[in-house]
Amino acid sequence: MRIQSRFVGPLFVFPALFVLALLVFYPLVYTVLLSVEDPMGNFVGFENFRTVLDQRLTGTTLRNTFVYVGFSIVFQIILGTAVGILLNAEFWGRSALRAMIVVPWVIPGIVAATTWAWMFHTEFGIINYMAQGAGLIDAPVGWLTNPDTVMPALVVVNVWKMFPFVAIMVLAGLQAIPKDVYEAARIDGARLHHEIFYVTLPQLRPVLASLTLLLAIWGLNAITIIYAMTRGGPANRSIILPMQIFRQAFEFFQFNEAAALSVMFLLITGVLMVLYITVFAEKE
């Protein structure tokens, strides 16, 4: 009886593990398989990869992806940390402000993106309306249709959407810093900016590092904002990799080429993550 009971536990867990493994590995393996097959299921080697790399669009896409994700992360971290530090200070109405700051993060992405698209609209958008009313611009600006403004506009929305998450995590990190560290610093004659740069930020480094990683993963996978606001336009000025994969698979129905793109994408992000984790781990 006793021996039997040793196997009962794993036996009960097995179905769940099996399903989990299936859910994780099946799509992954299937994607890799698709990427080296033609639509009829014949093995074609790296043909799909060559087709995809031959498209001039792929270069543009990669560049856009790095610009979009890179700038987003920088501003998300800066703004998020600043707001986190601010919210850690004691002042009247702090709880209300803390609650309000989370709103962008809580709103469903598609709702937020659609609302922003309307706010940015050349003709009906409130941004042009207000800027014109205040005399900042003479003619309406095509925020989402001008090649010079479309990426910055999308980065703004992405930063707006995610900085509250950074702020909350930073806030949590700040509360874990013991008070006596600050007291020691003050006794040594530290001013506020000394405190921030020599006490707060170094203590926050692990939090910020994991945040950067998370933001990079999310940013690289996010399609909602760009899909809802520009669909990659005008003339592919704002297309990013997930959007191109989506188009290839679900608009052109070329699942094999989409799979090839996905595998490439997975490799790129994989390399980035490994690099990042090793660098980060070394510093620790």
Nearest distance from residue 117's CB to another protein, in Å? Answer: 8
- Out of 52, 121, 238, 264, the only residue in the binding site for another protein (CB under 8 A) is 121
Q: Per-residue x/- marks for another protein, 135-174, CB under 8 A?
A: ----xx-x-xx-x---------------------------
Q: Which of 77, 81, 173, 247 binds another protein (CB under 8 A)?
A: 247
Q: Is 252 in the site for another protein (CB under 8 A)?
A: yes
Dihedral class, residue 141 (left if φ above 0, else alpha if ψ from -120 to 50, else beta): beta
> Among 2-10, 117-125, 260-268, 271-279, which window interacts with another protein (CB under 8 A)?
117-125
101 binds another protein (CB under 8 A): no
Size of the site for another protein (CB under 8 A): 22
- Which of residues 161 and 247 has its CB atom nearest to another protein in the complex? 247
Q: Which of the stretches 18-26, 27-35, 102-110, 246-254 binds another protein when contact is defined by CB under 8 A?
A: 246-254
Class of residue 240 by CB neighbours under 10 A (exposed 0-12, middle 13-18, buried 19+): buried
User: Which among 26-34, 189-197, 250-258, 272-280 is the span making contact with another protein, rule CB under 8 A?
Assistant: 250-258
Which amino acid does the sequence have at 136? Answer: L
Report the 10 Å Cβ neighbour count for 164.
Answer: 22
Options 90, 123, 138, 188; binder of another protein; rule CB under 8 A: 123
Q: Where along the sequence are the contacts to another protein (CB under 8 A)? A: 51, 121-124, 139-140, 142, 144-145, 147, 231, 233-236, 247, 250-254
